[in-house]
Every structure is written in C-alpha cells, then in structure tokens.
C-alpha cells in the first residue's frame, strides 16, 4: 500500500552505489573481525545441517555464506540489488549453492514454505522508524518456528542521553581514528538520518512482538546484541 514506509529507498549511505559496495568489506574489516563474529553467531544460534535461516540485511553476503556451510538453506534478504549481486557472485565463487537471494526488506519479504529455525539481522533494523521496527519484528516472529531463535545486532543507544552531544562527538572521533574519514562521515549520516533507538525502546519492541529475550548485551554505548526465542505457549 502507498502508506507503507518505503524501505527500498536508501536512507543514509547509498548501498546501491557500486563504489560503496566495493569498499564495504574492506571498510568493515578495519573495524571488526567479521569471520570471528560470524563463527560466534553461528555457535550462538546452534545451527545444524537440517535447519533453515533467514538473514535480513545480508549486505555483501559474508554471514549468509558462512552460515550456509552449517545449515540446510539460507534465505538472504537485502534492499540493495547491488549488494545482492555482489553477494551472489561471492557465493558462486566459493561454490556455495544453498543460499536463496531476495531483493526485499523487513516489511516486504514474503517467506514461503516451512517456517524458519532461525532469523538473524545485523546493523539493518535501524533503517526503519520505530513503529515500522515493531511491524518488522512481528513479521519475523511470524516467520519463525516455535522454539526458533532470533539474533539481532544493531546500533542501539545505551549511553546517558543527557550527554548525547559529547557522546556523538567522541564516537565520531574514535571511529575516524580507527577506520578513517569515510567511515566517520558514514557514521555522521547514520546518526542524523537513520533511526537508531534507545535500548529500553528496543527491548519493549521485541517483547511487544512476542519474543522472549534470552540474552542482551550493550557495548560502547551504541551497539546492542539480543538473542530471542519464539517460545511455545
């Protein structure tokens, strides 16, 4: 419907720009150990070779490719056709054939077939305003089997909001020193134009969507990780 939030339009950094797609992996690699992070998430989700997983915001496909080696099938969803094209080529090059790529988002992806054993999303949900985050989380809840796990990592604010000016200035400065000017500029755009929310709101959204929060972890004032279950009632 024409009143629905348009998640296909790029807010913040334009990941349909080929230049952004090309440098994404190397940029992220300067700030994070992606391989290690992926292994930890796969372990946390306890993926087995008869399970299916949906990933929202698959980006250049790093997690989907690693996860595909551990489970039966991965449904990799992203709003950027360029990112998906890049991810598909990467998967083909590595001989990974059990990933199904979908150009869609949290609000538009339609999951067909059996419900998924696990859903994961990293650094993507903050592209939606809070009401639409709730709708996205309810949709994810509906796609999961009972007993299924949802892993969410996102930019979520846990700093004292009374110090927000100093916090953002220090954060941008820290990221510039660690990863360079381009990443610092992307962060500025993210703070200004995207929809990162405080931790207390994110927790309420997850609970409202029906999830049980098994674990939550806040780090550096702006990153949060949640492991949730769709409980059998």
What's the confidence (pLDDT) of residue 12? Answer: 64
Does 25 map to a domain?
A: yes
- Assign residue 173 the CATH number of its domain: 3.40.50.150
What's the confidence (pLDDT) of residue 31? Answer: 67
Quote the number of domains for the chain. 1
Spatial separation of the C-alpha atoms in residues 64 and 170, rounded to whole Å: 33
Tokens of 143: 């796609």
Spatial separation of the C-alpha atoms in residues 202 and 139, rounded to whole Å: 16
Does 4 map to a domain?
A: no
Does 3 map to a domain?
A: no
What's the confidence (pLDDT) of residue 9? Answer: 87
What's the confidence (pLDDT) of residue 95? Answer: 98
SS3 content of the chain, % helix, strand, coil (to 5): 45, 25, 30
Does 223 map to a domain?
A: yes
Spatial separation of the C-alpha atoms in residues 205 and 26, rounded to whole Å: 33
What's the confidence (pLDDT) of residue 174? Answer: 95
Does 161 map to a domain?
A: yes
Does 179 map to a domain?
A: yes
Spatial separation of the C-alpha atoms in residues 56 and 118, rounded to whole Å: 11
What's the confidence (pLDDT) of residue 33? Answer: 87
What's the confidence (pLDDT) of residue 94? Answer: 97
Which residues does the chain have with pLDDT short of 50? none
Q: Are 116 and 73 in contact (CB under 8 A)?
A: no
Does 87 map to a domain?
A: yes
What's the confidence (pLDDT) of residue 191? Answer: 97
Could you give the C-alpha distances from 56 to 21, 78, 152, in angstroms and in order? 17, 6, 10
What's the confidence (pLDDT) of residue 40? Answer: 96
Tokens of 70: 């551990």
What's the confidence (pLDDT) of residue 57? Answer: 98
pLDDT digits (tens, 9 = 90+) for 11-50: 666 666 776 666 666 666 666 789 999 999 999 999 999 9
| Residue 90, domain extent | 18-229
Does 181 map to a domain?
A: yes
């Amino acid at each position: 419907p024409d009143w629905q939030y348009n998640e296909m339009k790029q807010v913040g950094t334009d990941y349909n720009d080929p230049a952004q797609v090309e440098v994404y992996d190397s940029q992220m690699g300067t700030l994070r150990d992606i391989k290690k992070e992926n292994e930890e998430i796969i372990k946390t989700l306890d993926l087995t070779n008869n399970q299916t997983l949906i990933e929202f915001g698959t980006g250049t496909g790093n997690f989907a490719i690693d996860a595909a080696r551990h489970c039966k099938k991965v449904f990799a969803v992203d709003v950027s056709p360029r990112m998906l094209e890049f991810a598909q080529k990467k998967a083909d090059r590595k001989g990974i054939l059990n990933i199904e790529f979908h150009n869609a988002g949290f609000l538009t992806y339609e999951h067909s077939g059996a419900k998924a054993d696990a859903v994961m999303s990293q650094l993507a949900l903050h592209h939606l305003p809070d009401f639409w985050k709730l709708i996205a989380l309810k949709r994810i809840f509906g796609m999961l089997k009972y007993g299924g796990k949802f892993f969410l990592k996102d930019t979520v604010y846990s700093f004292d909001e009374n110090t927000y000016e100093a916090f953002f200035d220090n954060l941008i400065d820290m990221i510039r020193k660690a990863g360079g000017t381009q990443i610092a500029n992307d962060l500025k755009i993210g703070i200004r134009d995207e929809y990162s929310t405080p931790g207390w709101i994110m927790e309420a959204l997850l609970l409202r969507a029906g999830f049980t929060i098994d674990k939550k972890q806040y780090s550096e004032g702006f990153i949060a990780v949640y492991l949730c279950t769709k409980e059998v009632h």
